[in-house]
Amino acid sequence: MEKEEIDFKAHVLVLPYPAQGHINPMLQFSKRLVSKGVKATLANTIAINKSMHADPASKIDIETYSDGFDEGGFQQAESTDVYLSTLKLVGSKTLSDLIKRLKDSGRPVSTIIYDGFMPWAYDVAKQFGLLKVLFFTQSCAVNNVYYHIQRGLLPLPVPGPTVSLPGLPLLHFSDISSFVSNLGSYPDFFNLVQNQFRNIDEAHWVLFNSFNKMEAEVVDWMAKRWRLGTIGPTLPSIYLDKRLEDDKDYEINLFKPDTSTCMNWLQDKPSGSVVYVSFGSMAELGAEQMEELACGLKASNCYFLWVVRASEKAKLPKNFIEETWEKSLVISWCPQLQVLAHKATGCFLTHCGFNSWECLNGQINPEDVWKIGIRAQPEEKGMVRREVVELCIREVMEGDKGKEIKENANRWKNLATEAIDEGGSSDKNIDEFIAQLIN
């Protein structure tokens, strides 16, 4: 997909893991590079390219390679392990073919920016003598935990109720992803997050979708080990510095959002009165947990907008939608940023790392560190019960704690805007990164 050619400073090939939450931040970073004179080509799998709804006016070139499952991608594979091994095997060859095609068409690549979930791309970049840039879509804090496990610096199983790691506050066992706290629960994903660090020491740059003030101590610790740059937050410019013209959305959706239904339903709701519930494009809840969440939402008596993917809808309690229609909208996909930016949205309930629950989004212990969430504690079997869900929602929506959370969230939003705006820490890091691309 060729765009109008101009004189670019460098040409980067951007390789996200084929999932919505990985494509979005790497696409947004690509837009920042293009705005500063760098040519960016986003490489998606053939299956992703078939299913995505893209903005034809995008300034980012989109090319394809194969993951070995061109008709259905991840869903076509027998297991996660089969998908990941095939992605590495077939992806390495077809990515090499793509690099050759780009060179033959007069668009030679100088750098590969590859997702941490795809460390094999380092070997492809090395084969062609390209700059190798590792990109982490998750925070520095989360990846610091995985790094210490991968290097054998954090023994497993975790020996005590708390974990002390450099650059991080004291972590409780419940703060850590279930990949770690419940060993064996997701073995393929556990290996995936560990393997991100296989060649980190050889990468020319290590980029994080974060910003300095958000994670100052852990950023300082990591910057002593690698050429590190925090370049986030990677959100459409309209929600932050507004410097990128027409950058109002992510531009690529793997699920078609029902925008009009969402926004029309929100229109007459009082300001700050709606609970937004989403588990992203990959996480799956068990039927029992789905029922507990549904009952907690219903008991809270708050308005709520719940994104339930079509594949998950059968897990909802019988007659739940009919019984809650006056207070709720259950929809298969929606424009998340528009919903969260709307004056009627209030609490954001999400599921992070398949283990830790928060009201408002976060990574590691947002309640204590960033003070933008409330921890919904699971019981002994790991289930978050309906009473806990209801209590947490009421605290955020009605209590003094909720007011504090909203104030802190606004403060972090301002700091995020400051970081990505002209002269901010992330903006300077991007400029420094581009300077190396050119030289």
User: Please, are residues 353 and 177 in contact by the beta-carbon 8 Å criterion?
Assistant: yes
Q: How many domains does the chain have?
A: 2
Same domain, 289 and 388: yes
- Check if the beta carbon of residue 218 is closer than 8 Å to that of residue 167: yes
Task: Let me know if residue 248 belongs to a domain.
Answer: no
The first and second tokens of residue 296, run together, are 């907690």
Residue 333 in tokens: 């996909």
Considering the domain boundaries, does residue 200 fall inside one?
Answer: yes
73 plus 43 within the same structural domain: yes
Residues 73 and 116 in one domain: yes
Is 38 in contact with 133 (CB distance < 8 Å)?
no
Could you report the per-residue pLDDT of 202-254, keeping only the tens digit for each?
999 999 999 999 999 999 999 999 999 999 999 999 999 999 988 998 888 88
Question: What is the per-residue DSSP string for 157-208?
Answer: S--SSEE--TTSPPEEGGGS-HHHHTTTSSHHHHHHHHHTTTTGGG-SEEEE
pLDDT, the chain, mean: 89
Secondary structure (3-state) at 207: strand
Q: Are residues 182 and 306 in the same domain?
A: no
The secondary structure of the chain in percent helix, strand, coil, rounded to multiples of 5, reads 45, 15, 40
Q: Is residue 297 part of a domain?
A: yes
Residue ranges with strand state E in 362-420: 374-375
| Residue 383 and residue 359 share a domain | yes
50's tokens: 């078939």
Rounded distance between C-alpha atoms, residue 376 and residue 79, angstroms: 31
Counts of helices then strands in the chain (DSSP H, E): 15, 17
- Same domain flag for 207 and 327: no
pLDDT for the residue numbered 200: 98
Pair (113, 237) in one structural domain: yes
Do 225 and 263 share a structural domain? no
**Cα(292)–Cα(289) distance, rounded to whole angstroms?**
5
- Whether 252 is in a domain gets the answer no
Answer yes or no: do 214 and 271 share one domain. no
In DSSP terms, 217 is beta-bridged to none
Among positive and negative, which fits the CA dihedral 189, 191, 194, 199?
negative
Check residue 336 and give its pLDDT: 85
Q: Are residues 399 and 305 both part of a single domain?
A: yes
Classify residue 249: in a domain, yes or no.
Answer: no
Q: Global pTM?
A: 0.91
Per-residue pLDDT of the chain (439 residues; tens, 9 = 90+): 444 455 678 999 999 999 999 999 999 999 999 999 999 999 999 999 998 877 766 789 999 999 999 999 998 999 999 999 999 999 999 999 999 999 999 999 999 999 999 999 999 999 999 999 999 999 999 999 999 999 999 999 888 889 999 999 888 877 787 778 778 878 898 999 999 999 999 999 999 999 999 999 999 999 999 999 999 999 999 999 999 988 998 888 888 888 999 999 999 998 889 999 988 777 788 899 999 999 999 999 999 999 999 889 999 999 999 999 999 999 998 888 888 877 555 565 654 433 333 443 334 455 566 788 888 888 877 789 999 999 999 999 988 888 898 899 899 999 999 999 999 999 999 999 999 999 8
Nearest to 141 by CA among 217, 227, 232, 231: 217
**251 falls within a domain:** no
DSSP 318: T
For 208-242, letters b (16+ CB in 10 Å) and e give: bbbbbebbeebbebbeeeeebbbbbbbbbbbbbbe
Shared-domain flag, residues 20 and 164:
yes
Q: What tokens does 346 get? A: 């209030």
> In this structure, is residue 2 part of a structural domain?
no
CATH number at residue 70: 3.40.50.2000
Q: Look up the domain containing 108 and give its range.
A: 11-243+421-438
Compute CA distances 427 → 3, 35, 424, 431, whole Å.
Answer: 25, 12, 5, 6
Residues 323 and 227 in one domain: no
The reply to whether 1 falls in a domain is no
